[in-house]
Structure 1
Amino acid sequence: MAKIRIPLLVGKTNKAGITSWYWQPSKTLADAGWKPISLGKDEGAALAAARAETARSKNGRPAVIARPASTKSSRTARSAR
């Protein structure tokens, strides 16, 4: 299989050998407020999402990747009760 290089796409492999993919902004983008984004374990989907996110960052648009809602309640929600 050919290696495809996508700027800012980083694969991190755990001890079990499972790779999780992340879009990790450069220092310049991070200084401008861009945050790393977890893209999951599917390499194909991560490639597509990283390409889209890289294009958005070049155009100066914020991230639009949907993230699952947290199941944990926040401290502010608990203190408001």
Structure 2
Amino acid sequence: MLANIGIPGLILVLVIALIIFGPSKLPEIGKAFGSTLKEFKKATNELINDDSTVKTEEKNRLQVVDEASSNKGSKSMEV
């Protein structure tokens, strides 16, 4: 989305923000935006990692179940 704005559009947005908020508020707004973006990325990464952890745990459980069922089958053949 930001790739479609281009340099002139970005300059226009910055000038409008400077006019609306003034030079004293822009650093505060930038800092707040940056910390919000950082928190959002952190939460997104945690969700992705949790999802992959759940999938790994599920695969391990299925593997244990498969091994247990194959062991039961081999024991019944021995008898």
Higher helix share: 2
- For the criterion TM > 0.5, the same-fold answer is no
TM range, normalised to the smaller chain? under 0.3
TM-score by length of 2: 0.27
TM-score by length of 1: 0.27
